[in-house]
Amino acid sequence: MYLANSSRLRKPNNRFARNFLPPLLLILFLMAIWQLVADRGGLSSFILPSPLEVALAAWETRDLLLPAIGTTMVETLIGLVIATLLGFAIAAAIDLSATIRRAVYPILVASQTVQILAIAPLLIIWFGFGLLPKVFIVVLICFFPLALNTSDGLASADPEQVNLLRAMNAKRGQIWRMVRLPSALPAFFTGLRIAVTYSVVGATIAEWVGGTGGLGLYMLRSKNALATDQVFVAIVITSAISIGLFFLVYLIERLALPWYHTQARGEAWETT
Amino acid sequence: MIPKLELRNLSKSFQTNGRNIEALSGISLQVDAGEFVTLVGPSGSGKSTLFNLIAGLLEPDKGEVWLDGQLQRERTGNFGYMPQRDLLFPWRSVTDNVAIPLELVGVNRGAARERAQEMLVHFGLEEFGGSYPSALSGGMRQRAALLRTILTEQDVLLLDEPFGALDALTRRELQDWLLEVWQEYSKTLFFITHDVEEALYLSDRVVVLSARPGHIVEILNVNLPRPRRPGMIARPDFGQQAAVLLKALGIRD
């Protein structure tokens, strides 16, 4: 009781501090150590550039960097949209027909055992240096967590809720829409969060292997020029985009599933 | 007069781990229109199975279900079925939960919601209409679940231990409320409980099932005037009738 009350009192004023201060402080601390090691560690900036040098390199190459970010973002977002639609469609098909499940499941798993580094050059040979092979790789990486999580979410629907609607003479489609689909949404969003964290990496790998632009190419050229600081720029920006997308999905999820993200769900564990 | 609901020699067994378990054997019963009949029996006597058979969620091995003098084959949707758990969907507001039966028969969402809201007012739940079920107490959830059952607009309601998980006070309150609802909507109620007192307080007749395989061992016509009043449980004839039921359940004093 005491704990529950105190947390309620603390909550509204310090919500920002509670959510953002810990990661912010930790990141600043790690950056400080990095800067210190780079400055005082006796390493040349070719081996380990300091955070300040990396920031400077980003500023100096901004004319290259901004279009590269744009290219990578376009590939990532198109790939994500297709992967989401495809993953959802596969999950729905698997859920609606046991035959489709048996037929598709092994291929689904096999698709994830394909080596991206091996298939990427092949895709370049088949589809050229344009957008298509990059989007293909993003889709290949991202549809799987979506399909799998959504499929599990659909299967997790409460059979008693299904029976309740059956007793009301509901049709199969109505039961799917009213029970199975909403039951699957939390898992769908978990899949989407995993997918967005993979998506940017997928796009940059594709560019690295055969691109005419994007952060992957920027990374490759920087590496070839032994510009370690610019390699770090690419790494930091790729991560930042991934984190941004992750956060965006999290916000959408909060808005879309208010019934799932109740205050009680978080507090019950935090105050234990 | 044709009985509202008639069960003819219903039997059902299940296969579990290669063994054949007989759940119900030879259940025959007639329920009149507007009657309140309660089923009591020990755990595992097949009470819920019987409701699932009537509602059409299970098929009997033998026997028939008749409604209004008609043999019921494809019968899902012909009974208002309320299972033990309230099963309110957490992703729907209370109003939208209550509106489900209307939506299922093709009423558009807006009209269904409007109708549900009117009913919520009538049931004293209007202030919870926009809330998610997780914000409601157990008693309120059962009220909403019963309202959802009533909106199926079926004459016969099958209520499977609706008050089983409630505290004693809320339970009393909801018993009186259920009797009011039953009177007002002139439904035929078939009710399951473990509680002999509850069975007597609510019903016109109490049917006692034996342990597995469930069969009817006693049918008691409850001799108490209506409307029922909480004080009636102190009457000597209430105690006598409770003793009859307890004896039929195999509990001796």
Contacts of B152 in chain A (CB under 8 A): 168
Section A132-156 average pLDDT: 94
What residues of chain B, 33 to 52, have a C-beta less than 8 Å from chain A?
none
Instruction: Using a CB–CB cutoff of 8 Å, tell me whether B162 touches chain A.
Output: no
* Chain A interface disruption, residue of B76, B91, B160, most A CBs within 10 A: B91
pLDDT bin (cut points 50, 70, 90) of residue A212 is confident
The predicted model gives B124-143 an average pLDDT of 92
Residue B229 at interface with chain A, using a CB cutoff of 8 Å: no
The mean pLDDT value of chain A amounts to 89
Question: Which of A7-16, A61-70, B9-18, B73-82 is least confident?
Answer: A7-16
Q: Residue A258 domain-assigned?
A: yes
Specify whether A70 is located in the same domain as A30. no
Residue A221 near residue A68 (C-beta atoms within 8 A)? no
Helices (H), chain A: 2-10, 15-40, 51-60, 62-96, 98-113, 116-127, 131-155, 159-167, 172-175, 181-210, 214-224, 228-256, 263-270
User: Could B91 and A259 be called an inter-chain contact, meaning their C-beta atoms sit closer than 8 Å?
Assistant: yes
The yes or no reply on domain B5-88+136-248 and CATH 3.40.47.10 is no
pLDDT grade, residue A8 (50/70/90)? very low
Q: How far apart are the first and last CA of chain B?
A: 40
Give the C-alpha separation, A29 to A251, whole Å. Answer: 27
Q: Does a structural domain hold residue A192?
A: yes
Chain A interface includes B91 (CB < 8 A)? yes
Residues A60, A38 within the same domain: no
Task: Note whether A259 contacts B100, CB cutoff 8 Å.
Answer: no
Residues 112-151 of A with CB under 8 A from B: none
Angle at A25 between CA A23 and CA A26, to 5 degrees: 65
Give the distance from CA A42 to its chain's centroid: 37
Q: Is B194 helix (H, G, I), strand (E, B) or coil?
A: coil
Q: Is A2 in the B-facing interface, judged by CB distances under 8 Å? A: no
Query: What pLDDT is stored for residue A2 in this prediction?
Result: 41
- Asked if residue A141 and residue A34 are part of one domain, the reply reads no
A13 with A70, same domain: the answer is: no
Q: Are residues A64 and A37 both part of a single domain?
A: no
- Residues paired with A99 in a beta bridge: none
Mean pLDDT of chain B: 93
Q: Are residues A163 and A223 in the same domain?
A: yes
Q: Report the residue of A169, A181, A263, A265 to disrupt the B interface, i.e. the one with the largest count of B CBs within 10 Å.
A: A169
Q: Are residues A145 and A214 in the same domain?
A: yes
A65 in the same domain as A31: no
Name the band, by pLDDT with cuts 50, 70 and 90, for residue B55: very high
Residues A242 and A158 in one domain: yes
Look up the CATH number of the domain holding residue A82.
Answer: 1.10.3720.10
pLDDT band per the 50, 70, 90 thresholds, residue B236: very high
Domain containing A115 equals 49-263
CB atoms within 10 A of CB A93: 15
Domain match, A16 and A113 both: no
| Residue A61: predicted pLDDT | 93
Q: A161, B132: Cβ pair inside 8 Å? A: no
A:B CB pairs within 8 Å:
55
Q: How many domains does chain A have?
A: 2
**Under a CB-based contact definition with an 8 Å cutoff, are residues A249 and A196 in contact?**
yes
Residue A60 lies in a domain: yes
Residue A211 has pLDDT above 90, yes or no: no
> How much is the pLDDT for B72?
93
- pLDDT band at residue A1, thresholds of 50, 70 and 90? very low
Quick check: A69 pLDDT over 50?
Answer: yes
Same domain, A132 and A23: no
| Closest listed residue to residue B172, CA positions, set B233, B87, B242 | B233
User: Using CA atoms, how far apart are residues B133 and B208, in angstroms rounded to an integer?
Assistant: 34
Do residues A8 and A130 both lie within one domain? no
Q: ipTM value, please give it.
A: 0.93
**Within-domain flag for A146:** yes
pLDDT value, residue A3: 44
Q: pLDDT for A228-261, tens place per residue?
A: 999 999 999 999 999 999 999 999 999 999 999 8
Identify the pLDDT of residue B253.
61
Per-residue DSSP letter, B214: B
Q: Does B81 contact A160 at a Cβ distance shorter than 8 Å?
A: no
Q: Tell if the CB–CB gap between B57 and A167 is shorter than 8 Å.
A: yes
- Choose among B92, B101, B134: nearest Cβ to A168: B101
Residue A270, in any domain of the structure: no
